[in-house]
Amino acid sequence: MKIAFCGKGGVGKSTIAALLCRALRERGLSVLAIDADPSPHLGRLLGFREEEKLVPLAEMRELLAERAQKSGPYYTLNPRIEDLPEKFMLVRDGLRLMVLGAIREAGGGCACPEQTVLRRLLSHLVLQAQEAVVVDMEAGVEHFGRATVVPMDFILVVVQPYRGSLETAKQILRLATELKLSNVLIVGNTMRTPEDEALVREGLGTTPVISFPEDPEVAAAERAGRSLLEIEGPAMEAARRLTQFLLSQGDL
Ligand SMILES: Nc1ncnc2c1ncn2[C@@H]1O[C@H](COP(=O)(O)OP(=O)(O)O)[C@@H](O)[C@H]1O
Ligand SMILES: [Mg+2]
């Protein structure tokens, strides 16, 4: 089962992705977690203390140089996950973490071929993975191209009950329609009242498949700089419900 989280910055993608990784592990699945946000946090949330030692895939210059057969403006880069050196992944108890990172370029923004290669590499790794995959995507919609989303079984758009988050979700849903994707689902976060649900329904024309409540346990872990591995509470329960829902959708 391959799942990507997207949505506006700050809506809770990484939080929910980390809790879902935990819930999938509880169900006995091996999990590959990929942090595709240029400022990565997923490793910290998953309790990988050595996260800062991990080399982002974007920096695998040696491997790029070694494996990229440059032909015209196009690269092909098809490393097998198992061939990736250990420095590109952290492993613990059936959970693997990879960090995509960002292509750094003088002057900021980058629509360079390396970025395209990186996206292709992501889709390639997701496609060949044998375990459940959870990708924590970059905020916004810019990354929302065919290569990134096609290998996914589910694209979960996280929304909070405010208009900015719904606007981003709406753009993502529009792009998904253009790409003829039928596996895009809304996940609510910090949903409190029936009015919140109504706002989402009015804004998007659909309701969340699962809604995560505001959870003081999540906030307390965040304040204390603790991972989300130990917390028990309404958010973790929602993650288990989300897992159950996803597992019940056909034989994936
Ligand atoms: N359900 C929740 N209850 C309490 N705090 C939350 C919840 N979801 C997210 N947060 C907090 O909101 C902030 C943003 O969440 P994060 O997962 O980093 O968002 P994103 O990855 O979308 O940018 C974090 O401080 C996180 O602890
Ligand atoms: Mg995040």
Mutate to test the pocket of ligand 1, among 19, 46, 218 (most ligand atoms within 8 A of CB): 218
CATH architecture, domain defined by 2-247 = 3-Layer(aba) Sandwich (3.40)
- In this structure, which ligand is nearest to the CA of 16? 1
Q: What's the burial of 160, exposed, middle or buried (CB within 10 Å: 0-12/13-18/19+)?
A: buried
Q: Residue 72 has what pLDDT?
A: 46
Q: Residue 112 has what pLDDT?
A: 61
- In this structure, which ligand is nearest to the CA of 222? 1
Q: Residue 53 has what pLDDT?
A: 84
Q: In the chain, where are the structural domains located? A: 2-247
Q: What's the burial of 83, exposed, middle or buried (CB within 10 Å: 0-12/13-18/19+)?
A: exposed
Which amino acid, one-letter code, is at 227?
S
CB 199 within 8 A of CB 216: no
Question: Is the beta carbon of 148 within 6 A of some atom in ligand 1?
Answer: no
Ligand 1 centroid–CA 12 distance in Å is: 4
Q: Which parts of the chain sit beneath pLDDT 50?
A: 71-73
The predicted-structure confidence for 57-88, as pLDDT tens digits, reads as follows 887 755 555 555 554 445 556 667 777 777 88
Three-state secondary structure string covering 55-93: CCHHHCHHHHHHHCCCECCECCCCCCHHHCCHHHCEEEC
Write b or e for each residue in 197-219: b if 16 or more Cβ atoms lie within 10 A of its Cβ, otherwise e.
bebbeebbeeebbbbbbebebbe
CB 38 within 8 A of CB 101: yes
Q: Residue 67 has what pLDDT?
A: 54
Q: Give the predicted TM-score (pTM) of the model.
A: 0.91
Q: What's the burial of 189, exposed, middle or buried (CB within 10 Å: 0-12/13-18/19+)?
A: buried
